[in-house]
Amino acid sequence: MKLPKSMRLLAGAGLIALLAACSGGLIQGSARSQQPLNSTTVAALRTMGSSPQAGMVVRIFKEEKVLEVWKEKSDGTYGLFRSYDICAYSGEYGPKIAEGDRQAPEGFYTITPGLMNPNSNYYLAFNTGYPNKFDRAHGRTGANLMVHGACSSRGCYSMTDESIAEIYALARESLAGGNRSFQVQAFPFRMTGENLALYHDSDNLAFWRNIKVGYDHFEVTHRPPQWDVCGGEYVFDARAESGQPLDARAACPALVRDSNIESLVAAKEAQDNRAFEAKVASLEDAQQRQVEQAQRQAEQQAAAQARDAAVKETMDNIGESVGGFFGSLFGIQSQPSTPTELVNPPAQTVDASQAPQPQEPPANRS
C-alpha cells in the first residue's frame, strides 16, 4: 500500500535524523545534501527576524580566514547571522587570474541552484561561478572554484564538513524559499582605508578599489548590491539609461543610479580616503625614519672604524718613538735584521803584528 505524501515526508525526515545520529551528527552518502537545519539554528534565525527561506549573502575575508552568512530580515535589510572559520584557502591576496595559479577568487559572484553540488567529493559544495562577467572581460581562466568541505584547498575556499553542512543547508533553504540566487562577495580583507593603505604599492590596488565600491554599497545599505560590468570594471546599483545590457569591455554608457545610495557611498569613500592618505603618510614617515636610522648606524659604524684605525696608528707611532728614544739614551745599537746574525755573529779579525809573540825558554846552562 502506498503511504500518503505527508507520511512519506515524515519517514524521510526520520531516516535522515537516524543517519545523522549514526554518523556523529553529520549525514554521509547521498542524503547529506538534504539534512535539515537544526532547531537551534532555526530559532536563532527567528530571533534576528529572519527565516530559513529568507534571502542570503555570503561574505569571505581571506585575511581573517572567515566566511560570513548574512540573512535577510523582515525589513528587507540583511544582518550578520553567523561567521565560520575558513579551514584553508590557497594562494595569496589578489584575484584569480589563470587556470593553475591556485588562487582563490575575489570579487562578486551570483550563486544559482545549478551551482549547488550535493554530490561533491569534498562532502558538500557550491560553485562560486568563476569566471564571472568581470573575469571573462579580463581574459581570466579557470573553472570549478568552490566553497566546499574536507578542509583541503587547491584554489577553493575549504570549510570543515560541519560548517559546510550548515552553510549548504542555509543556501538550499534560501533558494527553495523563492530566491533565484544568493550573492558571494569575496575580499582580501576588510575594505577599510587603513587596510588598503597597507598595500598601497600593490599591483592589485586598482582592482581592490573597484570591488571596495560594492563593499561600501553593502556597508551603507545592508542590502546586496546589484552588480554588473562595463568598461572592464564593476558597477553597482546602476543600469544603462537606454535599458540595454551593459557591455563588459565597452565604455560605460550613461548610467542611472540611486542618488541616496550614491550620497551615502560618497561620504563613506571620502572618509576612507582620508584614512588611507593618513595611513600611507604614516607608513612612509616610518619607512623614512627607518632609512635615516640605518644611515646613522652606518655612519656611526664607519666613524668607529676610523677612530679605531687612528688610535692604532697613533699607538704604533708612539711605540716607534719610545723605542728610538731609549735606544739613543743607552747606546743600544740597532738589532740585527735576521735571526741568523744573532745565532752566528761575525768573526772578529786580529792583526798578526799586534798579536803577542811566544817567548823562547831560557838556555840550559849546566
- CATH number for the domain harbouring residue 169: 2.40.440.10
Residue 142, in any domain of the structure: yes
CA dist 342 and 110 (Å) reads 99
286, 206: one domain:
yes
Is 300 inside any structural domain? yes
61/151 same-domain check:
yes
Same domain for 173 and 28: yes
Residue in 267, 271, 274, 235 with CA at minimum distance from that of residue 253:
235
Are residues 183 and 57 located together in one domain of the fold? yes
Statement to judge: residues 24 and 168 lie in one domain: yes
Q: Is residue 134 part of a domain?
A: yes
pLDDT in tens, 262-277: 999 999 999 999 999 9
The residues assigned a catalytic role are 148, 156
Q: Give pLDDT, residue 326.
A: 66
Rg of the chain's alpha carbons, rounded to an integer? 43
CA-nearest of 112, 115, 111 to 58 is 111
Residues 211 and 143 occupy one common structural domain: no
Q: How many domains does the chain have?
A: 2
The answer on 173 and 146 residing in a single domain is yes
Domain boundary among the residues 304, 319, 340 is at: 304
Q: Are residues 147 and 214 in the same domain?
A: no
User: Among positive and negative, which fits the CA dihedral 90, 94, 97, 101?
Assistant: negative
- Looking at the fold, whether 210 and 65 belong to one and the same domain comes out as no
Is residue 157 in some structural domain? yes
Q: Is residue 90 part of a domain?
A: yes
CB 208 within 8 A of CB 62: no
Verify that 201 and 70 share a domain, yes or no. Answer: no
Same domain, yes or no, for 130 and 209? Answer: no
With respect to residue 328, please indicate whether it lies within any of the assigned structural domains: no
Other CB atoms within 10 A of residue 366 CB: 2
Beta-bridge partner residues of 116: 126
Domain final position from 188, 208, 237: 188
Structural domain of 278: 190-225+258-304
Q: Is the separation of the CB atoms in 78 and 72 below 8 Å?
A: yes
Q: What's 113's DSSP letter?
A: G
The per-residue pLDDT for range 42-68, each reduced to its tens digit, is 999 999 999 999 999 999 999 999 999
pLDDT, residue 322, reads: 73
Residues 146, 60: contact at Cβ < 8 Å? no
Residues 53 and 145 in one domain: yes
- From first to last of the 366 residues of the chain, give the pLDDT tens digit: 444 444 444 444 443 433 333 334 577 767 899 999 999 999 999 999 999 999 999 999 999 999 999 999 999 999 999 999 999 998 999 999 999 999 999 999 999 999 999 999 999 999 999 999 999 999 999 999 999 999 887 779 999 999 999 999 999 999 999 999 999 999 999 999 999 999 999 999 999 999 999 999 999 999 999 999 999 999 999 999 999 999 999 999 999 999 999 999 999 999 999 999 999 999 988 877 777 778 788 888 888 888 888 888 888 888 777 777 666 766 655 555 555 544 455 555 555 555 555 555 554 444
Of 270, 304, 338, which closes a domain?
A: 304
Q: Is residue 70 part of a domain?
A: yes
The stretches of the chain forming alpha helices (DSSP H) are 5-22, 39-47, 133-137, 161-176, 193-198, 205-221, 259-330, 339-343
Inside any domain, residue 354: no
Three cell numbers written together for 211? 570591488
